[in-house]
């Protein structure tokens, strides 16, 4: 059985991420979405690590596991027998950012990274753009899963 992990900060998870998770789940028998970050550190994120995990659990297929990790990614993959990381690629900018991460992860532990090309519908969506739009009261429906869009709007009301 090939174990795979989709790692990311997911602050918050978008419809683009969700599409990658669903497509990765078709390719791998055992898929975990892994939120990276340390819950004991107060990060500058919109949502805490626990909140991000809860939001993802609310919107992913129950066959997909959701976990978090505060350390080096390869320590998680080695400890859990994960052979493959899965990430979405929207553009050459993503490629430039992802390439050295994939290479260092492989050098450190042998874990491979598989890239899925983002569906054209989601190519322009990012967590940070969605937060920017929502922070000014703009409409993020269709960009984020409904429960996530609701949580983002609520958070900016505070
Ligand atoms: O989608 P993101 O937020 O750009 O994901 C980046 C992420 C979380 C995969 C990366 O920052 C990461 O792997 N963090 C865990 C710490 C780590 O292992 N860093 C060195 C490997 S590049």
Are the beta carbons of 81 and 3 closer than 8 angstroms?
A: yes
Confirm whether residue 121 is marked as ligand binding: no
* pLDDT computed for residue 152 by the predictor: 98
Report the pLDDT value the prediction gives residue 42, as an integer from 0 to 100.
63
Q: DSSP labels for 16-79?
A: HHHHHHHHHHHH-SEEEEEEES-TTS--S-SS-HHHHHHHHHHHS-TTSEEEEE-S-HHHHHHH
Catalytic residue among 90, 106, 150, 155: 90
Per-residue pLDDT of the chain (158 residues; tens, 9 = 90+): 899 999 999 999 999 999 999 999 999 999 999 999 977 766 679 999 999 999 999 999 999 999 999 999 999 999 999 999 999 999 999 999 999 999 999 999 999 999 999 999 999 999 999 999 999 999 999 999 999 999 999 999 87
Tokens 């703009």: give the residue: 138
The CATH code belonging to domain 3-123 is: 3.40.50.620
Domain ranges of the chain: 3-123
Q: What is the pLDDT of residue 44?
A: 76
Torsion, CA 127, CA 100, CA 34, CA 117, rounded to 10: 60
Say what the pLDDT of residue 38 is: 79
pLDDT in the model for residue 1: 82
Do 28 and 4 contact (CB within 8 A), yes or no?
A: yes
Q: Please, what is the end-to-end C-alpha distance for the chain in angstroms?
A: 45
Q: How confident is the model at residue 47, as a pLDDT?
A: 97
Candidate from 18, 73, 76, 84 with most ligand 1 atoms within 8 A of CB, to mutate: 73
pLDDT of residue 124: 97
Q: Distance (Å, rounded) from C-alpha 10 to C-alpha 36?
A: 8
Ligand 1 center from residue 96 Cα (angstroms) = 14
């Amino acid at each position: 059985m090939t174990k795979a992990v989709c790692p990311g900060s997911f602050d918050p998870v978008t419809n683009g991420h969700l599409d990658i998770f669903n497509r990765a789940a078709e390719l791998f028998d055992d898929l975990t979405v892994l939120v990276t970050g340390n819950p004991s550190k107060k990060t500058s994120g919109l949502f805490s690590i626990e909140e991000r995990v809860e939001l993802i659990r609310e919107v992913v297929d129950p066959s997909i596991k959701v976990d978090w990790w505060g350390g080096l990614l390869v320590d998680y993959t080695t400890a859990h027998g994960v052979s493959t990381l899965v990430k979405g690629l929207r553009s050459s900018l993503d490629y430039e950012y992802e390439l050295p991460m994939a290479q260092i992860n492989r050098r450190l532990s042998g874990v491979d990274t598989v890239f899925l090309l983002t569906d054209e519908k989601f190519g322009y969506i990012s967590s940070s753009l969605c937060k920017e739009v929502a922070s000014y009261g703009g409409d993020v429906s269709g960009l984020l899963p409904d429960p996530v869009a609701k949580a983002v709007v609520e958070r900016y009301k505070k």
